[in-house]
Amino acid sequence: MALPDASPEISDALRVLHRVFGYDSFRGEQQQIIEQVAGGGDALVLMPTGGGKSLCYQIPALVRDGTGIVISPLIALMQDQVDALTALGVRAGFLNSTQDTYERQAVEQAFLADELDLLYLAPERLRTEGTQRLLDRGKVALFAIDEAHCVAQWGHDFRPDYLALSMLHERWPKVPRIALTATATSATHAEIASRLGLEDARHFVASFDRPNIQYRIVSKSNPQKQLLELIRAEHDGDAGVVYCLSRASVEKTAAFLVEQGIDAVAYHAGMDSRTRAANQARFLREDGVVVVATIAFGMGIDKPDVRFVAHLDLPKSVEGYYQETGRAGRDGEPATAWLAYGLQDVVQQRKLIDGSEGDEAHRRSMAAHLDAMLALCETVDCRRVGLLAYFGQPGEACGNCDTCLTPPESWDATVAAQKLLSTVWRLAKERRQKFGAGQIIDILQGKKTAKVIQFDHDGLSVFGVGADLSTAEWRGVVRQLLALRLLTVEGDFGTLVLTDDSGEVLGGRRKVTMRKETAAASPARKDSGSRKGKGGRVPADLPAAAVPVFEALRAWRAATAREQGVPAYVVFHDATLREIATRLPGTAEELGTIGGVGEAKLAKYAEGVLGALAEAHATVPAPATPPPAESVPQVPVPAPASRSAAPYDEEPPPFDLEEMDPPWDDWE
Ligand code: ADP
Ligand code: ZN
């Protein structure tokens, strides 16, 4: 089994990979990382979500003597992590504030008796003298510092307790440490290395590309309706995450989806903790639940089959956006990252920055982050290339993002920009007035609205000079001018004012090229041939004959997971069910050769799986004859929204700062 020249650590590691996890081979740099840590060295691992970080510390912990200590910031998810390991036959436990003394003592005893392979701890617990003495009395195989970017002080997930983790090496100099994160910028990388004293560790930086995620950014008209179209057309019955900026819009959007028959739950830090935990548990445990949440939701969620992540508001930074969208498709199957973005988003975010506490340097850094995000939204080039470039990694046009699939047209917007900027200038100069985008666009289009008449704006020389563009197009112009900083917003009402650079455009010294506004809510996926099954999307590459069997296996999995009180994916991942449905193993031995079926799961589930297969066989006529296409339940696909359907009329009202969730609200 082992390669002839493999180190002893690696042949052990390969055995564990087969026996415990049921996988054939390592992915990417897993082998080198495992070798480094299993051999007693330190490692700093930057790998995208879904890259396979967990095995990088779980296998060394199993190979080395003693217990691997995993420092993880999210207490609420420790139970699921331990359940998933237990299902694999790994001896795992956790120590945190959710346990009573008795439970805690039982785990401590198991650790001291060297009966644990992995022990999960929150960073604050590790700081206590009691915990440190406990670790001294037992045998520690390694320290794994998960979500290591929490040590970065300017990052959005900063946790002060992470700073103290630099003591690990002083107190236990012989114990190897591995720090892992999915946050990739070089600044964060450097900060993790220096704060955790990992400069001399081996650094492993994986590619951050997530080729199975299709990136799409659409212009926002009626976000709820656009979202519903996306779900109905492409993700009916799929698990997904919908991010909103404010708690109020989380609640409203969740209620709207439920009204429309979508199985949706809400999640934000303002909810009572019982409901919040129950909603999270439903999302994790059941198939096909959509969670509508603020950014308080998501870190540490390792549900592998999230098929889409939708943003109804503009994220504050590319880092945040990449991390949030990265929660889609951890299992490597096709997934969608979809963002609806509009003029109001730019206005809101700029206002937020202006009104933020903190010094000038902090505001400048926030503004730079926002600018990078806006550039990504307005690009006419491949989104993936833009994302990877942001993380300092090369990339080629991907063929799986909206700009690759439906290349946007650009147009010379210099004259339009001049018309708009000069309207703003004239209002300020001739009338000493400032107005928001709505009034300026009415003036340009020559609309005699009550407000136009009230302020006598039809007397301006620019009145009606922009009748050639639609309201949506003008809003696109304003939005892109804001993104380019050729225009800015001021005050509580989002009034538009010129910037230092506006003069270059007005004076004809600078040309402005813009992305054309597209009418479609979202370009359809190229592979939209996926079929719908009762319990959600059936993988596109599943042969038709295997569909009913896959469905039967999913039903068996749901029942089994419910019975055992664990998430469905802890039983088996979709990929494993798919392989079973196509290969149709007839014996336990054959079942054991399928990816994701290790020894423990084979012993536990062989009977159930083979039973479900036999039953499916009995009810499905003959697997050789594929069922007629009509027998696969069809989901009505709504007609695409017509362009005239009141495009920009329902943007969300400006939000309230109080309403927003900082990501750390949920941490204990
Ligand atoms: P991360 O923590 O980096 O987000 P995970 O450790 O959760 O990623 O792994 C993502 C998925 O990939 C999981 O479903 C895991 O079981 C699977 N996986 C990891 N390594 C391998 C491998 N070598 N072969 C097959 N599947 C793997
Ligand atoms: Zn692309």
Distances (CA, A) of 147 to 70, 151, 182, 502: 10, 9, 7, 43
What is the share, in percent, of the chain residues with pLDDT greater than 70? 88
pLDDT of residue 251: 97
Q: What confidence tens digit (pLDDT) does each residue in 353-400 have?
A: 888 887 888 888 888 889 899 999 999 899 999 999 988 888 899 999
What is the share, in percent, of the chain residues with pLDDT greater than 90? 63
Q: What type of residue sits at position 48?
A: P
Distance CA 547, CA 555 (A): 12
Burial zone of 389 (CB within 10 Å; 0-12 exposed, 13-18 middle, 19+ buried):
middle
pLDDT of residue 525: 52
| Ligand 1 touching residue 210 (CB < 6 A) | no
536-631: in CATH 1.10.150.80: yes
Distance CA 655, CA 175 (A): 48
Q: What confidence tens digit (pLDDT) does each residue in 43-65 have?
A: 999 998 888 999 999 999 999 99
Q: What is the mean pLDDT of residues 516-524?
A: 60
Distance CA 477, CA 473 (A): 6
Q: Which residue has the CA at smallest separation from atom 20 of ligand 1?
A: 52
Q: What is the mean pLDDT of residues 532-553?
A: 74
pLDDT of residue 536: 53
CA of 376 to the centre of ligand 2 (A): 12
Distance CA 383, CA 446 (A): 37
pLDDT of residue 182: 87
b/e burial code for range 142-173 (CB count within 10 A of at least 16 → b): bbbbbbbbbbbeebbbebebbbebeebbeebe
Distance CA 176, CA 164 (A): 17
Query: What is the torsional sign of CA 128, 134, 135, 136?
Result: positive
pLDDT of residue 632 exceeding 60, the answer is no
Q: What is the mean pLDDT of residues 571-589?
A: 92
| Ligand 1 touching residue 208 (CB < 6 A) | no
Residues in the chain: 668
Estimate to the nearest angstrom the gap between the alpha carbon of 511 and the chain centroid: 36
pLDDT of residue 255 exceeding 70, the answer is yes
pLDDT of residue 666: 34
Same CATH fold, 213-408 and 8-205?
A: yes
Average predicted confidence (pLDDT) for the chain? 86
pLDDT of residue 6: 65
Question: Which has the minimum average pLDDT: 61-65, 145-149, 183-187?
Answer: 183-187
| Ligand 1 touching residue 537 (CB < 6 A) | no
| Ligand 1 touching residue 54 (CB < 6 A) | yes
Q: How confident is the model at residue 279 (pLDDT cuts 50, 70, 90)?
A: very high
Ranges of each domain in the chain: 8-205, 213-408, 410-515, 536-631
Q: What is the mean pLDDT of residues 433-452?
A: 94
pLDDT of residue 71 exceeding 90, the answer is yes
Q: Is residue 440 within 8 Å of 457, Cβ to Cβ? A: no
Q: Which segments of 299-381 does DSSP mark as H helices, in order?
A: 318-325, 343-354, 360-378
State if pTM tops 0.75: yes
The atom number, within ligand 1, closest to the CA of 569 reads 14
Q: Which residue has the CA at smallest separation from atom 18 of ligand 1?
A: 52
The atom number, within ligand 1, closest to the CA of 24 reads 24
Q: What type of residue sits at position 108?
A: E
Q: Which residue has the CA at smallest separation from atom 5 of ligand 1?
A: 52
| Ligand 1 touching residue 9 (CB < 6 A) | no
Distance CA 319, CA 273 (A): 28
| Residue to mutate (ligand 1; options 31, 55, 120; most atoms within 8 A of CB) | 55
Question: What is the maximal distance between C-alpha atoms in the chain?
Answer: 87
213-408: in CATH 3.40.50.300: yes
Cβ-proximal residues to 143 (8 Å cutoff; 6+ apart), any chain: 68, 69, 71, 168, 172, 175, 176, 177, 178
Domain 410-515 belongs to what topology?
Arc Repressor Mutant, subunit A (1.10.10)
pLDDT of residue 191 exceeding 80, the answer is yes
| Ligand 1 touching residue 27 (CB < 6 A) | yes
pLDDT of residue 127: 87
CA of 519 to the centre of ligand 2 (A): 20
Distance CA 264, CA 275 (A): 13
| Ligand 1 touching residue 55 (CB < 6 A) | yes
Q: Is residue 531 within 8 Å of 538, Cβ to Cβ? A: yes
Q: What are phi and psi of 513, to 5 degrees?
A: -105, 135
8-205 in CATH: which number? 3.40.50.300
10: its two tokens:
């690696």
pLDDT of residue 185: 81
**Nearest C-alpha neighbor of 349 from the set 384, 311, 306:** 311
Cβ-proximal residues to 358 (8 Å cutoff; 6+ apart), any chain: none
pLDDT of residue 627 exceeding 60, the answer is no
pLDDT of residue 516 exceeding 50, the answer is yes
Q: What is the mean pLDDT of residues 589-593?
A: 94
